[in-house]
Structure 1
Amino acid sequence: MKKSLLFLLLLLIQFVNSQELALVKKNSKFGYLAKDGSFKIEPQYKAARSFSEGLAAVENGGKWGFIDAKGTWIIPADFKDAKDFNSGIAIVQKDKEWVYINTKGEIQKAPASDKLFDFNDGVAFFRQNNKVGLINNKMTVVLEPKYDQIKSFENGYARVESNKKWGIINTAGKELVEPVYDEIGGYFKNTTWARKDKTFGLVNAGKFIPVDGAEKIWDFETQDLTFAKKNGKIGYIDIKGNWVILPIYDKGKAFSKNLAPVQVGSKWGYINPKAEFVIPPTYNDAEVFSANGLAPIKESNWGFINESGKLVIPTQYGITANALIAMFTQQDKGFIDGVARVKNEGKWGFLKPDGTVLSNQWFDNAELFSKTEKREIAETPAEKPKPETKPAKTATKATAKKKK
């Protein structure tokens, strides 16, 4: 009996910890919506951010602090501004200075940097003398400043620039692709695309393989096919650099669920890896399929089709924010973890796969759902930290660039 109760308790804890909440704005106040359509935290904040690693930054009386999924204050509202937690660390503005804090609200002493940068994948940039390196969430140096620029980490990899040439590193600071290329893409299955002088190709195991006639190559996403341009037309290459679908399309997007949106003339449809049209080109625009097998397509407005091309949700919604809102909102389109964020008559809401609106509610603004549990952070190997030389000045986005 005790074992059964313990098992049920563990399941309950797992359920509570795995809940997802969406930041929404209603009647000029921000609150947090659960996936059953109920308000987990009623709209009450003048300004707020989405949950990240179990905490959300909210404003109270002109100051920012952090709450948990129950709305309880975990870190008091003592800061002039605050950013999201990532890798157990957040950037906050205390008085006039930007500093790092941990999830207990304790200030973390970091190596000297011209600016503070957001953490991502367990590391953050730091910049000294116009060169960029990496620190981990223990505030120790992972990579001494050596690059002119490091782009944001994606899936544990980042593009780096040195002397106007590009390569790729991992979060341990290890150089996976030497910075010798004029352009470089994302890292996928030990492969990336790159440009050497005027030639585009793929890089694998340090070897550059030119792709015949390629004028541009896009990143591999979820499949071993990506789109590329030749003679002004779009086709598809495999991960070895072979043209497997001839470049005959006006535009194209990534494969997902073995279907890729392509444009012929002014209309979009979907092809399979054999270049056969599974869904004829009849739409004004089209996006890739989500994991649940639905894809956004556009006629006058946006709706959703299934993998056979059947319209399952009418084309009556917007799926993207305007340019101003897009600066502050995640722009993922389509279904994500069972719901799709859409716009209707100037309001935002969430669609279920059956086309019904979550709790039949519409909001002034709505962010994507985010998990509220705290994540275990893997430690990144560290090098011996350098002595501090000068204090940090401010905070910036997660791309470190050389000063001009």
Structure 2
Amino acid sequence: MRVTEGDVTVEVPEQADAGVGENVFFNPVQELNRDLTVAVLRALREDERSESSNGASGDGGAASRESDRDGDRTPRYLDANAASGIRGVRAAAEGYEATCCDVDPDAVELARENLAGNDLEGRVVHRDANALMHEETFDVVDVDPFGTPIPFADAAFRGASRLVCITATDTAPLCGAHFESGVRHYSTVPRNTEYHAEMGLRVLISALVRTAARYDLAAEPVFSHATKHYARTYLRLESGARAANALVDELGYVDHCEHCLFREATPGLIADPLDWCPECGEAIQTAGPIWLGRTCDPEFTEAVRDAVDDGMGTAERARDLCETVAGELDEPTHYDQHRLCKRWGVGAVAMDEFIERLRAAGYSASRTHYGGTTFKTDADVTEIRAVAVED
């Protein structure tokens, strides 16, 4: 089966259940993910060119990890879980020195054929990705495995000098629906809440920030999104204990009441959970440590949006997602207006009108990319209700 994405066409095996199981070569549902990855690679190149023209790396300690880097050198990209090789092929089409790596010999052969079929140069390696990442350094490491990326995280931070791109498809453990698995894989306490997609994204970023910090690396999320069955984050690297400590300080806990929806975020690695809700007296759930900071750099996210082109199959969705992500408040939880209104027995209104009501009442508010009726605000749930029931 021939598939065209962006400027490349690749051969992939025909699969009735594409995207299901451990032996998949190609998942068509991930086209948005791949389009956005190409846009990120373009934005990163422009950022690097801008830094070079200004005569400074602008990259802090990350530049020191690869002191011989210069603006004219072709950046190196690793597709650590290559499968069909489509990510590596698309990176090569963007001018990156692409390496595709996979332990499956059939995947290796397919990736090699797809590079050649597009008249692109690139390296295909039949190796364990962790071994390769411990031996070589790449400007960009892209980890897109089946399930949790955690078995690749340590090696990814050892093998990347500039950017680490991570996908996690195990959304149930991430958001706390499979609690024990979430605790084992991510060394945190996840909770299954109304804002489950955001919980999953912040659990993922927390685990990655802590992993990088073990190597005195700051892994700052510059663009992140949770879309249907996966979470994806792009982490810009900076070397140094001080920088790593600053990001660790962005970790903390969220106390949540399922009865009245009271929420409170507390920074710090030492948990001091509430036993009972201060609003209604019911039991409290505590999640953490999760990432409490921004999940993106708005300026970089806007550059990613600008790098999306009309030839991408998901161009409109990709631009809309970037625009929404860039405008999100950095609150660590979100609400769903329709769920709240149903709970309170009041009618829902158009989202733009609802956001404007919150702002008119003196609160900060924004839509979120997690759903058409989700929003963030610095108002508490009692204040939100007062806005929701106003005539």
TM-score, with length taken from structure 1: 0.25
Higher strand share: 1
Which one scores higher on RCO, CA 8 angstroms, separation ≥ 6?
Answer: 1
Higher helix share: 2
TM-score, with length taken from structure 2: 0.25
